[in-house]
Chains A and B, each alone.
Chain A
Amino acid sequence: MGIDTVLWSRLVTGLTLGFHVIFATIGVGVPLMIAIAELMGIRKKDPHYTLMAKRWARGFVISVAVGVVTGTAISLQLALVWPNFMKLAGNVIALPLFMEVFAFFFEAIFLGIYLYTWDRFKKPYIHWLLTIPIVAGAGMSAVFITTVNGFMNQPEGFAMSGGQFTAVNPVQAMLNTATFSKVFHVLSSAYLTGAALLAGIAAFALLKKGASEYHKKALKLMMAVVMVFGLLNALAGDVSAKFLAEHQPEKLAAAEWHFETESGADLILLGWLNAEHEVLGALHIPKLLSFLAFGDFNAEVTGLNEFPLDEQPPLLVHYLFDLMAGVGFTLLGISFLYFLFVFWKKRNEHNKWLLRSIALGAPLAFLGVELGWFYAEIGRQPWILRGYMRVEEAATTSPSVRILFFVFLLLYILLGTVCVLVLRRMFKNNPAETEMEKWNQHPGDKTTVKGEHAK
């Protein structure tokens, strides 16, 4: 029974986080895009960009609602499903959790103001200034919550005596060795995904309805952001890999199916394992793993066999890792191709195949985020607090957790479906061009449709 509830506790948490991360990523990434678009609109005096900011904000608020409620769910589930973990770790991670709530509070306040004051200020810049606390609040909550995850991977800032944490140093626990690389990777991938999503939508609209000034501008703006954050994200991934090689070698070794410690280790792409743990059918790139891990082609990389069998992460994480990295590079590649076509006059950057791959990039980006989180979380099994507490010791013992899994599954299916339906209804019968025309007809009156925020 004990083991059974542990498995279900894992599933409940995995389900909630897997669902939440979609909306959390939008919640962190999209505000920056709204801010950029609004600023462009003000500076260029181009109403297309202002409309972009408005339409994105309108869709954003729907996804925020789901993000807020699933975020509330996960924060409660922390104590409900993992009471022993919170009893122990609450002494150390309370500070970042508390700060996260403050950041969220801050964002919530200014988001409310932003949405309802489109035409209340004389200078458009003042309204734009409201995006700063929103972007900062969203980013900071991601930072704080990621420090908690960093702590679970790399517990620091306390002494252990008699099964209790003593001599707690909250700041050191927050700024643990894992924090920097994690925060960098989380933020860069969230902005990348936000931009890929909006670029994908623009590309999709261009494919379906043909050329439109509004969508072309949106596409170009967002592809530029994809490129910038695609590059930063690749850098962040590299920083993370180097961190793992040094501090969590078992996670990197599991991701790379690197069993024996050796110098000049190969990078292994895809493939499969036989029963004797031999890698078959994989693409080997000589010495690249050593280079990625330590910046030296002949560096020694610790192998998985150095670790006791009951402390090794599941080997499945290899695929998660490869696919995540693949998604990151694909997105970057698409954005390069797009700008190559933009500057190479013979080519049309709005050709069907390119637009199709950009549209496909949006779901791909979210897949990448999910894969990355699954890799990060499964890769530190069997630990909940690496080196200090195993997952089995942390879970609730209540058998009800099994039923709750299905109840929450149902809830998320319901929320996800209705969210998509509402978003579809919101934009399908109200294309950007129609809204733009209404603006042109009534230049003084910037309120566009029924249900608009500014009244």
Chain B
Amino acid sequence: MSYELIGISVLWLFLYGYLIVASIDFGAGFFAFYARLTKQDHLINRLISRYLSPVWEITNVFFVFFYIGLIGFFPDTAYYYGSALLVPGSIAVILIAIRGSFYAFENYGSKNNIVYLFLYGASGLLIPASLSVALTLSEGGFIYKQGETISLDYWALFTNPLSWSIVGLAIVSVLFISGSFLAFYASRAEDHSALKLMRSYALFWSTPTIITALTAFIYLGQHNERHFQNMMDLWWLLALSVAFFMLAMWLLYSGRRYGLAFTSIMLQFLCAFFAYGIGQYPYILDPFITIENSITSPAMGLALVIVFIGGMCMLVPALILVFKLFLFDADYVKGKK
């Protein structure tokens, strides 16, 4: 396999990882705020903070990892996306800054401040919305190059149904993934009232998830015929994704095997995400950047791959340790440690 393929596969896998861990985090913020408004916060807040507090920083790193890796393997992306995304990117930075720090302020500092909780909850939904703009841009037609100047066509972006359907999909899938994870976590903690609440949230957000996914897919077909056709050729991946979704629904509905339900939701998103990514090949930004023509020098490509493998040898055991301590240690989850 060539460096560019290794590179983009690894990066795509990391973006997927970010999608899952960040969704849990972002959704949890919204649920915490919503539960406070509906006076059900006593049921789930402890559950959320027990899982999130040790891992919130790790979530953030997944994201940094993705785009530093992207710039490293494909420096041209910095030029095009960097120029075009100055405003939406900065908005995302500000939201991430507010969210991360206020989470720490609320959790380690002063407890139970409704303003912090609001900032935390609201930013949790706005961040996926602002980040998904980058995904929309990659479809082409929103970035213009005049001479050496790269600019973003905001009017085209805001009037295009594709961008709104991707934003919608990002928000509802965040809530769906988060709800089902927290239901799983509650079931491990044997916290029945929290489980009941989280299960209802997960079930509630499942329908909009599948509907917005279909909508986004249809609009994609209108906007970028090539990408749509490529994805249709990968129909089996999409079918697999739907099958995992059905399995998860059935498990959630019948109220058992929450771990398996969450796993199949992860697989559902994995299949769909990779069908999307493989369909976009060979473009990173249609039509300016393809994977082949923007790759960094071979020496740097090799160095990055070596560092990546070395880094993984350190990270994987460390991550397993975190999971053992905070996710699969039944006593910790139940609040006994």
Contacts and interface: CB of A to CB of B under 8 A. Distances in A.
A112 B57 contact: yes
B110 A422 contact: yes
A407 B88 CA distance: 13
A24 B109 CA distance: 20
Contacts of A73: 93, 96-97
Given A94-B304, A396-B86, A415 B101 contact: yes
B140 interface: no
Contacts of B335: 455
Interface stretch (A101-109, A180-188, A225-233, A384-392): A101-109
B141 interface: no
Contacts of A92: 300
A87 B308 CA distance: 21
B54 A408 contact: no
A339 interface: no
Contacts of A170: 299-300, 303
Contact of B103 (A65, A396, A400, A404): A65
Contact of A98 (B69, B90, B149, B321): B69
B243 interface: no
B199 to A, nearest CB: 26
B165 to A, nearest CB: 26
Contacts of B99: 69
By size class, the interface of chain A is: 35 or more
Contacts of A133: 318
A397 B110 contact: no
A273 interface: no
A401 interface: yes
A109 B97 CA distance: 19
B62 to A, nearest CB: 9
Contact of B322 (A91, A113, A419): A113
A104 B62 CA distance: 11
Interface in B284-317: 296-297, 299-300, 303-304, 307-308, 311, 314-315
Contacts of B101: 65-66, 69, 415, 418-419
B297 A83 contact: no
Nearest to B325: A113
B297 A166 contact: yes
B124 to A, nearest CB: 14
B67 interface: yes
Given A99-B307, A108-B61, A411-B94, A86 B86 contact: no
B26 to A, nearest CB: 15
Given A94-B73, A116-B54, A117-B325, A81 B111 contact: no
A68 B59 CA distance: 11
A98 B72 contact: yes
A322 to B, nearest CB: 34
A333 interface: no
Interface string B95-107: 0111111111100
A415 B97 contact: yes
Contact of B105 (A62, A113, A407): A62
B138 interface: no
Interface string B141-166: 00000001111000000000000000
A106 B315 CA distance: 7
Most central of A102, A113, A171, A426 by chain B CB within 10 Å = A102
Interface in B54-99: 54-55, 57-58, 60-61, 63-65, 67-69, 71-73, 75-83, 85-87, 89-90, 92-94, 96-99
B328 to A, nearest CB: 14
B64 A72 contact: yes
Contact of A75 (B64, B73, B148, B303): B64
Contact of A112 (B55, B71, B89, B98): B55
B82 A108 contact: no
A70 B61 CA distance: 13
A61 interface: yes
Contacts of A66: 101
A212 B111 CA distance: 29
B94 A98 contact: no
A94 B300 contact: yes
Contacts of A166: 297
B98 A72 contact: no
Interface in B87-139: 87, 89-90, 92-94, 96-105, 108-111
B64 A398 contact: no
Contact of A86 (B71, B97, B151, B315): B71
B53 interface: yes
Interface in A226-257: none
B281 interface: no
Contact of A72 (B53, B58, B63): B63
Contacts of A451: 108-109, 111
A75 B68 contact: yes
Contact of B82 (A68, A396, A419): A396
B45 to A, nearest CB: 14
Nearest to A107: B57
Nearest to B299: A168
A400 B304 contact: no
A92 B304 CA distance: 11
A418 B106 CA distance: 11
B79 A87 contact: yes
B319 interface: yes
Contacts of A90: 71-72, 75, 78, 296
A86 B82 contact: yes
B39 interface: no
A325 B300 CA distance: 38
A425 interface: yes
A82 B108 CA distance: 35
Interface in A109-143: 109-113, 115-117, 120, 133
A94 B97 contact: no
B31 to A, nearest CB: 21
Interface in A126-166: 133, 165-166
> Across chains A and B, which 5 residue pairs bring their CB atoms closest together, nearest first?
A94-B72, A90-B75, A65-B104, A86-B78, A83-B82
Interface of A: 58, 61-62, 64-66, 68-70, 72-73, 75-84, 86-92, 94-95, 97-102, 104-106, 108-113, 115-117, 120, 133, 165-171, 396-398, 400-401, 404, 407-408, 411, 414-415, 418-419, 422-423, 425-426, 450-451, 453, 455
Given A68-B60, A72-B97, 6 more contacts: A79-B67, A83-B80, A97-B68, A97-B71, A109-B321, A397-B148
13 contacts: A61-B104, A69-B101, A87-B79, A89-B75, A95-B300, A97-B68, A98-B69, A100-B68, A102-B311, A105-B65, A106-B318, A168-B296, A455-B337
